[in-house]
Amino acid sequence: MELSPPQFHRWLLALFLTLCLFASAVSSYAQAPVITSECELVAVLGQSFSYEIQADNDPLGYSVTNLPYWVKCEGNRLSGTAIKLGHYPLKIYALNSSGVSDPQTLEIIVKNKIPKQARSTETGEHR
């Protein structure tokens, strides 16, 4: 069965509209990311650390505000060397095609050393 040019254009338009409706229905079920990683990182003064931001709902990117100058963010990884004692609250966001996550506060706590009883869980490496 051959279609005339006007029939072909109507068929193509119907296919396009069907695909648009399908894409709209699928995207209405998608949700903005939800950050699932730990909200505290204990680092030792003078030692390097690494932290991986994790989120549900297929994040495409991340944003972090209030970074101290000794912390760098590459993709979903924060890393650096703790050079000053103190508490450093950061705001972490994840984004995907459906929107931006609610902010999560990550607190970097820089200590002189980690108490012995906490060493097994707080090593400066968080995932």
What digits encode the pLDDT tens for the residues 39-78? 999 999 999 999 999 999 999 999 999 999 999 999 999 9
pTM of the predicted structure, to 2 decimals? 0.68
Contact between 125 and 50 under an 8 Å Cβ cutoff? The reply is yes
**CATH class label, 34-126:** mainly beta
Structure tokens at 75: 């993709």
Q: Which of 32-41, 88-97, 112-121 has the lowest mean pLDDT?
A: 112-121
Instruction: Give tens-digit pLDDT for 8-47.
Output: 667 766 666 676 566 555 555 679 999 999 999 999 999 9
Distance, in Å, from the CA atom of 9 to the CA atom of 17, rounded to the nearest integer, reads 12
Question: CB neighbours of 31 closer than 8 A, spacing ≥ 6?
Answer: 57, 98
